């Protein structure tokens, strides 16, 4: 293969790869796909790409993911009722921690909805950080329930 063909091949592959990037959405948890928390594409890490002008879009996607999370928390709670007594106590403790964090996340979501252009970046980042904490707590509770 000559240099020109090699260059065209590399450029073609680069164009193909960069042209096929998934669209980022503001709220998702790919790390939790195995636990069925949220099934959207993208990542909350992409939230930094959401300017204040796209706040409504961010809020709508966050609302949908929070609803999905609430459904999964209920599913997890239902699963805990079928656990043996030793595991049930541990899972219930983890679920309570998760519910407490979910309540904090709801407050952060209210702040996101009420954010102004001046405080948008900070509020959005704060929500994102809390979302990551909730994901970790959900994962912890889910794994405890699945180990049973």
**Spatial separation of the C-alpha atoms in residues 77 and 94, rounded to whole Å:** 10
Q: What is the pLDDT of residues 37-88, one digit of tens each?
A: 543 434 554 545 789 999 999 999 999 999 999 999 999 999 888 888 888 8
DSSP 6-68: HHHHHHHHHHHHHHTPPPP-S---GGGGGGTS---SS-GGGGGG--GGGHHHHHHHHHHHHHH
Q: What is the pLDDT of residues 7-48, one digit of tens each?
A: 334 344 334 333 433 323 233 443 344 444 543 434 554 545
Fold for the domain defined by 24-146? 1.20.120
**Spatial separation of the C-alpha atoms in residues 111 and 93, rounded to whole Å:** 28
Per-residue tokens: 64: 């949908």
pTM: predicted TM-score of the whole model, two decimal places: 0.68
């Amino acid at each position: 293969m000559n240099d020109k063909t090699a260059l065209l091949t590399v450029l073609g592959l680069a164009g193909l790869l960069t042209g096929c990037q998934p669209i980022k959405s503001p709220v998702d948890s790919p790390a939790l796909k195995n636990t069925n928390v949220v099934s959207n594409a993208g990542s909350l890490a992409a939230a930094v790409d959401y300017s204040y002008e796209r706040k409504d879009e961010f809020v709508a996607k966050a609302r949908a993911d929070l609803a999905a999370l609430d459904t999964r928390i209920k599913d997890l709670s239902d699963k805990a009722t079928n656990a043996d007594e030793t595991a049930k106590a541990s899972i219930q403790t983890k679920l309570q921690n998760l519910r407490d964090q979910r309540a904090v996340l709801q407050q952060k979501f209210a702040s996101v909805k009420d954010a102004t252009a001046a405080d948008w970046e900070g509020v959005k980042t704060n929500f994102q950080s809390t979302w990551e904490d909730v994901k970790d707590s959900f994962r912890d509770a889910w794994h405890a329930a699945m180990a049973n």
